[in-house]
Amino acid sequence: MLVWVLAPALRLHVIKEVFVKTSLLQRVALGALIAALTAPAVAGTQLTGAGSTFVYPFFSKAFYQYSAKNPDVTVNYQSIGSGGGIAQFTQKTVDFGASDVPMSSDELKRAGDPVIQIPDTLGGVAITYNLPGVPNGLRLTRKLVADIFLGNVTNWNDAQISRLNKGVKLPNLPIIAVHRSDGSGTTYIFTDFLSKVSPDWKSKVGTGKSVSWPAASSVGGKGSEGLAGQVANAAGSIGYVELSYALQNHLNTAALQNAAGKFVSCSVGNVAAAAASKPNISATDFSIVNQPGANSYPIAGYSWVMLYQHGSDRAKSKVLHDLFAWLVSQPAQSMAGALDYVPLPSSVQKTAQATLKTMTF
């Protein structure tokens, strides 16, 4: 007990961490739990899925609503990470998988049976920073972001940064480049962006969910909360987080120069604009970083659901089809918008519906 009495700071932080920062997720999870405990035991179809943690808040809310309307369908989704989701899907221990990056041709080969992959929602990656005296909306070019994370630009008073930010007093502080230490779809989208805008990054580092970070001042934080914590702790830090996380925690985010030369902030609207500028996406051509268009925010990406095209249990395949046909339709997608995800553009919704139609049942 003494620990709690002696360390009010500790208590405050724990309470903040557990109850405030994750309140959205907790509310959703609590709702689902209460629903599960109070729901009468109906002999219906039980679907199980596993994978991405990024889509978890959206899936919990969507599946809860779907079960409310279709009481004979219950969906159990385990957010164990995209890699784990693909592994379980491949071993057929779950009915569907979810991943921040679609399965590669190698992974599809391992799955054996034909797989369909549809986008379920999308998100942006915001650049966040901790600079005393510098407000929200610091301007950065794509090349500067790459140079900072490569370790080529090492101080905030660098002329290349101040030239973009006239009227902002940039401190003389070394730059600390913070990355996600856990394998993550957010890192994949961010490094995909860096590879597209910087040949140096592409040849030295590459694209992946975990990469070897080159900057001499790089530090890794576990999870969005670990990264944001590290950025908040150390003045001079810069890092990247999911758009929804940045919005819900009111983090300072940078305005990036896009392919059209305009400086755009990381917002739901600007990420949607980037997605809309590439209407035809597929599981092999899915990257939407560095898109053209005056409003396109340059760091964005889709999240994916994997299903077997010819499932062995026909009745279950039908239920899966109906569930995901609803998930990629407008009503479910606007619900994603309310949770700070970016709804799928209507052209992508149509493509997803067409792909789902190829399922047999």
Interacting residues toward another protein by CB under 8 A: 1-3, 7, 9-10, 13-14, 17, 80-84, 86-87, 104, 107, 174, 176, 181-184, 205-213, 217-222, 226, 229-230, 233-234
CB nearer to another protein: give 210 or 265. Answer: 210
Q: How far is the CB of 227 from another protein (least distance, A)?
A: 10
Instruction: Return the structure tokens found at 311.
Output: 């499932």
Distance CA 207, CA 193 (A): 8
Q: Is 95 helix (H, G, I), strand (E, B) or coil?
A: coil
Q: How far is the CB of 358 from another protein (least distance, A)?
A: 25
Residue 52 near residue 82, CB atoms below 8 Å? yes
Strands 45-51 and 96-99: parallel
E runs forming strands in the chain? 45-51, 73-78, 96-99, 115-129, 139-140, 176-180, 218-221, 237-242, 255-257, 263-264, 300-308
CB nearer to another protein: give 62 or 108. Answer: 108
Closest residue by Cα to residue 300 from 266, 337, 351, 335: 266
Q: How far is the CB of 155 from another protein (least distance, A)?
A: 12
How many C-alpha atoms does 342 have within 13 Å on its Cβ side?
A: 28
Instruction: Return the structure tokens found at 96.
Output: 């569907």
Q: How far is the CB of 183 from another protein (least distance, A)?
A: 3
- The type of residue at 221 is G
CB nearer to another protein: give 82 or 296. Answer: 82
CB nearer to another protein: give 176 or 266. Answer: 176
Distance CA 117, CA 304 (A): 6
Distance CA 301, CA 94 (A): 25
CB nearer to another protein: give 6 or 338. Answer: 6
Angle at alpha carbon of residue 192, lines to 190 and 195, rounded to 5°: 110
Distance CA 341, CA 120 (A): 10
CB nearer to another protein: give 2 or 43. Answer: 2
Q: Phi then psi for 89, rounded to 5 degrees? A: -65, -45
CB nearer to another protein: give 11 or 314. Answer: 11
CB nearer to another protein: give 49 or 345. Answer: 49
Q: How far is the CB of 23 from another protein (least distance, A)?
A: 16
Q: How far is the CB of 282 from another protein (least distance, A)?
A: 20
Q: Phi then psi for 8, rounded to 5 degrees? A: -60, -30
Positive or negative torsion for Cα 229, 230, 236, 241: negative
Contacts of 334 (CB under 8 A, 6+ apart): 343
CB nearer to another protein: give 86 or 356. Answer: 86
Q: How far is the CB of 221 from another protein (least distance, A)?
A: 7
Q: How far is the CB of 326 from another protein (least distance, A)?
A: 28
Q: How far is the CB of 237 from another protein (least distance, A)?
A: 9
Closest residue by Cα to residue 99 from 125, 76, 118, 126: 118
